[in-house]
Amino acid sequence: MKKIPLFLLTTAALIFAGCQAPVENPTVSSPSNVNSIEFFLDASGSPYYRVKHGETVAVDSSAMGFDFQGQPPLKSGLKILRATERPFDETWEMPWGEQRTVRNHYNELLVELEETEAPNRKWNIYFRAYDDGIAFRYEFPAREGVDTLIILDENTEFQLAGDHDCWWIPADYDSYEHLYNTTKFSEIDAIAAGARNSLGHTSIPQNAVHTPVTMKSGDGLYLSFHEAALTDYASMTLKVGEAPLLMASELVGSDRFGYKVKRALPFRTPWRTVQIADKATGLIASRLIVNLNEPNVLGDVDWVKPMKYVGIWWEMHLDRSKWDYASGKHGATTENAKRYIDFAAANNIGGLLVEGWNTGWEYWTDPVKREGVFDFVTPYPDYDLQEVVRYGKEKGVELIMHHETSASVETYDQQLDTAYALMESLGIHAVKTGYVGKIIPRGEYHHGQWMVNHYRRVLETAARHKVAVNAHEPIKPTGIRRTYPNAIAREGLRGQEFNAWSNDGGNPPEHLSIVAFTRMLAGPIDFTPGVFEISLRDKPNNQVNTTLAHQLALYVVVYSPIQMACDLPENYEGQPAFQFIRDVGVDWEQTLVLDGEVGDFVTIARQEKGTGNWFLGCITDEDRREATIDFSFLEAGKKYRAAIYRDGPNAHYRDNPLDIAIEEGEMDHNSSLSFTLAEGGGLVISLKRVE
């Protein structure tokens, strides 16, 4: 007899108990009946939901509830007052993005609940069924005599239907800069994974993962759990395994205040989301997260300009120069900035980031002295801010401002208005912010409610001054860019910089093949691709673990409206492959996710807005593989001039990363070609329409 594992029996028993005598089962299906959500109360009046994809259970019966300060928990003794369904279908335009128009098509179910006994609290849950996933959020209505709710715990469960393959990072309350782990759900060990990283500061209090966390079920269903519209609330991490195959929300709290969330009534929580797809590529194509956000509140944002940029940046990570003036190797000098501006102007690159331009860097990593020292308006003596801006404008290159806060957030808050007013007065329309270190005020975490509100305050202040924000050490993206389209990009992952200095061998070749199906589902990524001097001669113990063709492919595969050409100008000079970076677009009419498997490879084609040109990128992990590209996405009856950049015959990310073959040809929509990608390799093709 086949033995049934004990944990499966326990799950079955739990679910059976949960299913007893449901009062009513309002159900909502997605527009094409692909996904459905069923809501029910068990015999004790506890709420549950269950998600199906066709006949397959995507999320099994899962409970919902809250613990509060000064009030009984909300989790049982409920009755359904009303269940109302509402269809919705709109098409909206992205001011910049992966595609010009987005269809937001769903059916919504509003379930209004009330406690059957005193205090007879009311509680509403909105469910939305989309063809590419589902979402739900809670609403706490106004209540006589209660103005504020203090949430000690949100207990939203996600009961998995099997021991799925998972791609996850530990739920570090201060960082997303971890390498992805690939394990079965039952093997997730966030504490052990946290201990393996080379980060300066981490806070991983329990076995929980960050979102988006992506999974593949035994029967080949792809699921990604995340949240949308994270506003005035704490970030949701997912705690693993309090019962078999169970994940439950664990909000990032505040040690200062001892709670997770404090909100005035009435309010709605962020959406809890599950993207669902039959193929891995469907996850990347899904626009669920942005669709769940409110429309643009900023109106016309023609000052937000998608662009490529260079920076006085990589040279610091290579230790060639320094951020601080006292080092004697100060990188942000007027002269150096002009050198980069000349390079950008000559190479179709619209922006220049200058880090280390302002006073305060002497103390930025000092645990004590870093408070109150950064100044966001005063340049070091060898940097003439006005002159750099003027010179850039003359050459058609915009300055991107830099604000490293060293996580001294109150110091930054105090200067926000002045700092952004300075930018507006100089006609600077973009800033890169940074939050390295433990948050000051102490007791707050990067991903708690207080910081969520800080990041939003920065976006709002920036918008008032017509500035777009690229946040590093950010709060994770949850689609807020729809509402605030000045949220152009953010870091929120282990970026390229780790390849320059991490002591764990750098990002492995599979890194971006996982990121594309996890972090990238949340929103644009400032990964800073484009290292050409891959073996890093300045850093004998470090190397970038990709081929050159893979670096090029990242401009297409990793979505961001701002893309850095991160290497030093001298490393690009005379390099034929650099032509691809000159040519590649940054703003897209449409995006097609052609092929891919999580952690193995991914192929994406994007059509540039305005020109109709296509750019195709493909990356692989540490395995060599064949990629067959079918060009039927090209417009029928048109010819395209193709420039192909592929791994050379001897390319290998470790031993021979620079072996690249560049070919030209003509392509049309009947073309189909096979390519070999090297270990850690890639492929890019630019396709310009022949008029």
Residue 246 near residue 253, CB atoms below 8 Å: no
Return the closest-CA partner of residue 281 out of 681, 550, 598, 588: 598
Q: Which is nearer to ligand NOJ, 497 or 621 (CB)?
A: 497
Give me the residues paired with residue 433 across strands: 403, 471
Min dist CB 168 to ligand NOJ, Å, is 22
Q: Which does 404 bind (CB under 5 to 8 A by kind): ligand NOJ, Ca ion, none?
A: ligand NOJ
Residue 472 in the binding site for ligand NOJ (CB under 6 A): yes
Min dist CB 355 to Ca ion, Å, is 12
Which one-letter amino acid corresponds to residue 651?
A: A
- Contact stretch for ligand NOJ (CB under 6 A) within 257-265, 490-498, 616-624, 638-646: 490-498
Q: Which segments of 197-282 are extended strands (E)?
A: 208-209, 213-216, 222-228, 236-240, 246-251, 261-264, 267-268, 271-277
Cite the active site residues. 497
Q: Which is nearer to Ca ion, 239 or 472 (CB)?
A: 472
How many Cβ atoms are within 10 Å of 318's Cβ, its own excluded?
18
Q: Are strands 398-404 and 430-434 parallel, antiparallel or unpaired?
A: parallel
Per-residue binder mask for ligand NOJ (CB under 6 A), 615-644, x = binder: ------------------------------
Residue 497 in the binding site for ligand NOJ (CB under 6 A): yes
Min dist CB 383 to ligand NOJ, Å, is 16
Q: Which is nearer to ligand NOJ, 435 or 578 (CB)?
A: 435
Among 42, 157, 404, 567, binds ligand NOJ (CB under 6 A): 404
Residue 641 near residue 666, CB atoms below 8 Å: yes
d(CA 348, CA 152): 52
Min dist CB 381 to ligand NOJ, Å, is 20
Range 462-481, binding Ca ion (CB under 5 A) = 472
Return the closest-CA partner of residue 241 out of 331, 354, 164, 311: 164
Residue 491 in the binding site for ligand NOJ (CB under 6 A): yes
Which one-letter amino acid corresponds to residue 83?
A: A
Min dist CB 313 to ligand NOJ, Å, is 6
Q: Which does 98 bind (CB under 5 to 8 A by kind): Ca ion, ligand NOJ, none?
A: none
Range 366-405, binding Ca ion (CB under 5 A) = none
d(CA 473, CA 492): 6
Contacts of residue 269, defined as CB under 8 A and 6 or more positions apart, other chains included, come to 137, 138, 139, 154, 233
Min dist CB 545 to Ca ion, Å, is 18
Range 434-453, binding ligand NOJ (CB under 6 A) = 434, 436
Q: Which is nearer to ligand NOJ, 51 or 558 (CB)?
A: 558
Which one-letter DSSP state was computed for residue 321? S
Q: Which does 434 bind (CB under 5 to 8 A by kind): Ca ion, ligand NOJ, none?
A: ligand NOJ
3-state SS class at 105: strand
Q: Which is nearer to ligand NOJ, 364 or 578 (CB)?
A: 364
Tell me the site size for ligand NOJ, rule CB under 6 A.
9
Residue 567 in the binding site for ligand NOJ (CB under 6 A): no
Return the closest-CA partner of residue 277 out of 132, 167, 136, 158: 132
Q: Which residue has the tokens 């920036």?
A: 462
Q: Which residue has the tokens 């509100």?
A: 453
Q: Are strands 640-647 and 625-630 parallel, antiparallel or unpaired?
A: unpaired
Q: Which is nearer to ligand NOJ, 544 or 604 (CB)?
A: 544
Q: Which is nearer to ligand NOJ, 169 or 290 (CB)?
A: 169
Residue 174 in the binding site for ligand NOJ (CB under 6 A): no
Q: Is 71 exposed, middle or buried (0-12, 13-18, 19+ CB in 10 A)?
A: middle
Q: Which does 530 bind (CB under 5 to 8 A by kind): Ca ion, ligand NOJ, none?
A: none
Q: Which is nearer to ligand NOJ, 65 or 495 (CB)?
A: 495
Min dist CB 332 to ligand NOJ, Å, is 12
Q: Which is nearer to ligand NOJ, 172 or 491 (CB)?
A: 491
Return the closest-CA partner of residue 313 out of 345, 340, 338: 340
- Contact stretch for ligand NOJ (CB under 6 A) within 38-46, 91-99, 479-487, 491-499: 491-499
**DSSP codes of every residue in 570-607:** HHHTT-TTHHHHHH--SSEEEEEEEEEETTTEEEEEEE
- Contact stretch for ligand NOJ (CB under 6 A) within 449-457, 489-497, 541-549, 617-625: 489-497
Residue 228 near residue 289, CB atoms below 8 Å: yes
Min dist CB 507 to ligand NOJ, Å, is 14
d(CA 257, CA 443): 8
Residue 373 in the binding site for ligand NOJ (CB under 6 A): no
Range 273-332, binding ligand NOJ (CB under 6 A) = 313
Return the closest-CA partner of residue 552 out of 618, 496, 620: 618
Tell me the site size for Ca ion, rule CB under 5 A.
1
d(CA 297, CA 141): 24
Residue 630 near residue 649, CB atoms below 8 Å: no
The CA radius of gyration of the chain, in Å to the nearest whole number, is 25
Q: Which does 355 bind (CB under 5 to 8 A by kind): Ca ion, ligand NOJ, none?
A: ligand NOJ
Residues that bind Ca ion (CB under 5 A): 472
Residues that bind ligand NOJ (CB under 6 A): 313, 355, 404, 434, 436, 472, 491, 495, 497
